[in-house]
Amino acid sequence: MRLFESIIDANHRAVAGDASAGLRPADFADALPVIALTCVDPRLNALFPSALGLPGEQFIWLRNAGNIITGPLSSTMRSLALACAVKGGEEIAIIGHTDCQVAKTTMVVLLDKLKELGVDRSRLPDNLSDFFGTFGSERQNVIKAVEFARSSPLIGAKIPVHGLMIEVATGKLDWVVNGYETLTAPAQAKVAMPEFAALGALGADKGFDLGEMKFPEMKIGDAAVKPLVMPTPPVGADEPPVVEAPKAQPPTLPPLRKKSPPPPPIQPRPRFPGR
């Protein structure tokens, strides 16, 4: 077993009452020291580092309220990076705990408490949830912190980043995120194109190989420069040649004749008396 797998196994046996349970740190010299980020809750003082079964010199302990990481380049990530680079930390464990008071504190209660301390709300950032990294679930907070640490450019890809939970009443440790699985996860699978997959399946029984398909060699831009030439169908082909119908000509209309003006009206002759 690897270091933290052995730590959790020994921890579970010790919590169950096995007096012989323990860890041989010398067997894991290449994975030590470890870096642990935990909450500032004073109840954890008596649990670490004995809950991990490690001597104090092999345990680099970082703490903040709620074991919160707010981003891959946050100040907490800077401390984790320095602990790896300067102090030689080989593995990282972000350890949340049950009954966390930070998780139980709503933003309204937090503002009231800050106000009692003389902190003016107008001087605080607009988005307090993002600034303080408040959360409602201890496990989800650990998962989020591990994701930030794993994606941080400050942490080497070969350093496992684990997520754990500790029961404050008993000291029992449990997995939340197994960092070894993240390191050994296979590379992202290539997405198969359904068209080619179907084509390969169609010719599988006939010995057809997609690798045998030959495609014309063409330089970029040839298609735009050279006109597309359609081949002339051979004489005697099954399909008769298509003859284009003559375009219909519009009918010729006779020129319009101008109408003659109507004749003037006939005036009646005057009649004289005696005639």
Question: What CATH number corresponds to the domain at position 75?
Answer: 3.40.1050.10
Please check whether residue 52 lies inside any domain of the structure: yes
Please check whether residue 114 lies inside any domain of the structure: no
pTM of the model: 0.67
More confident site: 254 or 95 = 95
Q: What local confidence, expressed as pLDDT, does residue 182 receive? A: 83
Buried b (16+ CB within 10 A) or exposed e, 114-145: eeeeeeeeeeeeeeeeeebbbbeebbebbbbb
Residue whose C-alpha is closest to residue 60's, from 30, 29, 91? 91
Please check whether residue 45 lies inside any domain of the structure: yes
- Of 8-22, 163-177, 223-237, the least confident: 223-237
* Enclosing H/E stretch for 145: helix 138-151
Tell me which residue range forms the domain holding 17.
3-102+134-180
Mean residue pLDDT of the chain comes to 81
Please check whether residue 127 lies inside any domain of the structure: no
| pLDDT higher than threshold 50 for residue 30 | yes
Please check whether residue 244 lies inside any domain of the structure: no
Q: What's the total number of domains in the chain?
A: 1
Q: What local confidence, expressed as pLDDT, does residue 252 receive? A: 58
Please check whether residue 118 lies inside any domain of the structure: no
Please check whether residue 250 lies inside any domain of the structure: no
Q: Could you give the CA distance from residue 17 to residue 37 in angstroms, rounded to a whole number? A: 27
More confident site: 231 or 161 = 161
Query: Which strands make up the sheet holding 91-97, listed edge to edge?
Result: 59-63, 34-38, 91-97, 161-166, 173-177
| pLDDT higher than threshold 70 for residue 14 | yes
Q: What local confidence, expressed as pLDDT, does residue 226 receive? A: 47
Please check whether residue 69 lies inside any domain of the structure: yes
Q: The tokens of 157 are what?
A: 């890809």
CA separation (Å) from 240 to 2, 76, 231, 237? 77, 79, 15, 7
pLDDT tens-digit map of 174-223: 999 999 998 865 444 433 444 434 434 444 444 544 444 444 454 444 44
